[in-house]
Amino acid sequence: MNKIVVSRKIPKSFIEQLETLADVEVWNESYTPMPRDKFLASLKDATACLITLSEKIDEEVIEAAPHLKVIANMAVGFDNIDVQLVQSKGIVVTNTPGVLTETTAELGFTLMLTVARRIVEAEQYVQRGEWQSWGPYLLAGKDLYNAKVGIYGMGDIGKAFARRLKGFNANIMYHNRSRHKDAEEALGALYVPFDTMLEHSDFIICTAPLTEDTRNKFDTAAFKKMKNDAIFINIGRGAVVDEQALVNALQDGEIGACGLDVLRQEPIDMTHPLLSMKNAVILPHIGSASVVTRNRMIQLCVDNIRLVFSHKQAKTPIS
């Protein structure tokens, strides 16, 4: 008999679909991950698991799960999974590309405007009762209109972000491991070397996945090359950024501000210096967090498990 382990609480309608395929064991917590020991124990007789980025799939997991056929990862990125190891055991690994592109780009755009116009500072200013009068430069921010915007990572999310920039008449630069002529032609984006993008951008947004090439890409040297009033936004992966270098850059005035939806350690340690900085806005990894998009992500995971159980090709296998 098949068994499916679901590492987070998901709507009943999806559980009911899975129950037509197998016995289902669900960790009924929405906001806290399944404890590692519980996860390992649950996998001993499991043939499938539906997981989030919180679950690290490594050699220990594979040894604990001898019957596993498919891992459905509720995310586009899969740096939480040792894909080569898993596939060497004949286990199918799937992700959820496509369905979250527009929602994530929308969140990134929201975060960029929030930081640029100092929205969080302004709201807190009002809440503290400090708003006494209008002032010419009271909480004055930075314009996006006609600005130079650099995008690091011109994949689907980067392109969706660039489309939104066109409405602000922004000048778009990008750097990627390979050129995307379609983005250049459709969006007027200019492919430039990484350092050129750093030096000339008023805003820089990172949408890149975590790879050995992107790890710590935004380090001390990178921040020093940026404009002193540049705004840095990261909706890619936390480990693309050297966070101590970012803290130093903000403290020393080497860049103007930052907005992060992803961090190296999630959730963030409450003693992290970024949390005490007025020019840093930190979000709890909510890039794809709309009801419609999360439903689509879960449905894709369910569909992938169903197809593998039916000895068919998964919709979105990681190759």
Residues catalogued as catalytic: 237, 266, 285
Residue 240: alpha-carbon gap to chain centroid = 11
Kindly list the distances between the CA atom of residue 11 and the CA atoms of 8, 69, 209, in Å, as whole numbers in the listed order: 10, 23, 28
Contact in structure between 226 and 204 (CB atoms under 8 Å): yes
Report the length, in residues, of the chain: 319
Helices (H) and strands (E) in the chain, counts: 12, 12
- Among residues 91, 17, 31, the alpha carbon closest in space to that of 59 is found at 91
Residue type, 294: R
Contact in structure between 112 and 144 (CB atoms under 8 Å): yes
What's the rounded Cα separation, in Å, for the pair 65 and 286?
30
Which structure tokens are listed for 274?
């970024």
Sign of dihedral through CA atoms 243, 244, 249, 251?
positive
What's the rounded Cα separation, in Å, for the pair 159 and 151?
9
H/E stretch holding 50 reads strand 48-51
